[in-house]
Amino acid sequence: DTEVTQTPKHLVMGMTNKKSLKCEQHMGHRAMYWYKQKAKKPPELMFVYSYEKLSINESVPSRFSPECPNSSLLNLHLHALQPEDSALYLCASSQTRGGGTSPLHFGNGTRLTVT
Amino acid sequence: AQKITQTQPGMFVQEKEAVTLDCTYDTSDPSYGLFWYKQPSSGEMIFLIYQGSYDQQNATEGRYSLYVHKARKSANLVISASQLGDSAMYFCAMRETKALNSGGSNYKLTFGKGTLLTVNP
């Protein structure tokens, strides 16, 4: 079982809806990530939070709004999405110590469909 | 320029045989990490194995071995004694340091395009 939990597993939303993706980890990791993965493509980094502060935003459109309320939780708020935003959204966490040596631990993802 | 290259879109292997999945990387960061992940059709990304730029020996985790050749900038994954459950997409990934506008730095994990491994009975 994965130690990073994402909810919901599946989400269908219209272009005018507002929804949120949730991610939770209890491994004591202080870095958390959102990745977007289109079918048959590799994951692409969207956001990185380090110690609950946004440290990397990979030029993601403002219709995606991340939030890190505490060290265990990471949310991704969605508003006015487009059909091309349909994808698997993966959350991950990692230790912050050890430089670039710590692996990212991923959740099972949320499969998002925008109609 | 692509930083992580996987040139095998698909690979086939007979059950119980070994298979090598190729990966090359490109970085000027002296401190980097090389990772392999497995992604079954269910979607979960499963961490398999890691080796850092300062590690002297190749890594082994059970049936997985990571062979890094720094001069060739290759990081190949060998799966020994393949099992039917090994059928999945395999991603090579590299973690580099990214300088932040705030003056600090953080680490960015970049994935290759993946290799779809099929294990035949």
Over residues A92-101, the mean pLDDT reads: 74
Q: Chain A partners of B112 at a C-beta cutoff of 8 Å?
A: 42
pLDDT in tens, B17-54: 999 999 999 988 888 889 999 999 988 899 999 998 88
* Residue from the list B52, B98, B109 with its beta carbon closest to the beta carbon of A104: B109
Residue with tokens 């961490």: B47
Q: Rounded to whole angstroms, how far apart are CA atoms A58 and A47? A: 6
Whether pLDDT at B13 is above 90: yes
Which pLDDT belongs to residue A96?
A: 74
pLDDT in tens, B48-73: 999 988 888 889 999 999 999 999 99
Question: A64 CB contacts (<8 Å, ≥6 apart)?
Answer: A46, A76, A77, A78, A85
User: In this complex, do B111 and A103 lie within 8 Å of one another by their Cβ atoms?
Assistant: no
User: In this complex, do B109 and A45 lie within 8 Å of one another by their Cβ atoms?
Assistant: yes
Percent of chain B with pLDDT over 90: 70
Q: Chain B partners of A109 at a C-beta cutoff of 8 Å?
A: 43-45
Which pLDDT belongs to residue B30?
A: 82
Q: Rounded to whole angstroms, how far apart are CA atoms B108 and A47? A: 10
Which has the closest alpha carbon to B119: B35, B63, B61? B63
Which pLDDT belongs to residue B61?
A: 93
